[in-house]
Copies of this chain bind each other. A is one copy, B any other.
């Protein structure tokens, strides 16, 4: 099944203690698409400026990402600049230039309207709703959001969640959205808003997948070299939704395995700047790391 993704395509300037990336390819839809493309065909809806080079277009197209929904608007592409300290847990935003992203109105090409799987990356929940109005009959809708929308557009976000099957959200935002400090109770409160499944992203601590009758915990892979955590969450989402699209079902077993694939893909992304590690990673490497996650978490049962 094809996956429709709507989100940002951006140029990132990133400083970490290990180096600097200057105007490298970034954005939620870019990380998601590249990661998901290992599992399924992706249809991308986003906006770039007139400065967006063909080289990036060619990279995405070569990965089976359908760019028919990539608008080019007069002006410059969205730019984000951030810095990470040694703990690499949270970026300090140095500069945000929305540029053409400011006026983004997602328009689905006619051929995208039959998409069965939809991922609404972290954009204004009003735009997320607008995208859903343009999709005919999606089988699975997943979405991401952030503190900015929870605080500033709660009403629209709650309306969006009524149409969402899987919400991916980080730990602090889970507590913020539910207004509840206990994470499990916060998750239950959010499930009552619509989603059947909540994926709580915990950065270097991995993720929790919570539904009405199941909680699954997957660690992040303990890496000796983490260069740049930018895009880890969207890469996780790409592996997660990509695997579900490839298998075509969302049983509890499939969702768990999808979360492992999400963690596998995210563990590669952080090994280098931008999408550089995803550009080079091979399927045997992905399977090899999946097996390392098995070794990382396995223990014997009671006698």
Chain A residues within CB distance 8 Å of chain B: 17, 86-87, 181-185, 188, 202, 204-206, 208, 210, 214-219, 222-226, 253, 256-257, 259-260, 287, 290-291, 294-302
Contacts and interface: CB of A to CB of B under 8 A. Distances in A.
Contacts of A219: 206, 217, 219
B299 A225 contact: no
Q: Is chain A's binding surface mostly helix, strand, loop or mixed?
A: mixed
B257 A296 contact: no
A296 B216 contact: yes
11 contacts: A182-B223, A182-B226, A184-B223, A188-B224, A202-B205, A208-B222, A217-B296, A219-B219, A291-B301, A297-B297, A297-B299
A222 B198 CA distance: 14
Chain copies in the assembled complex: 2
A166 to B, nearest CB: 17
A19 to B, nearest CB: 15
Top 4 A-B pairs ranked by shortest CB distance?
A217-B219, A86-B181, A256-B299, A205-B205
A220 to B, nearest CB: 9
A297 B260 contact: no
A205 B184 CA distance: 13
A18 to B, nearest CB: 10
Given A217-B219, A219-B219, A299 B205 contact: no
Given A253-B299, A290-B302, 15 more contacts: A182-B223, A182-B225, A184-B224, A205-B205, A206-B217, A206-B219, A214-B295, A215-B222, A215-B296, A216-B296, A216-B299, A218-B297, A259-B299, A260-B299, A291-B302
A224 B182 CA distance: 7
A226 B296 CA distance: 27
Contacts of A225: 182
A112 to B, nearest CB: 31
A302 B243 CA distance: 12
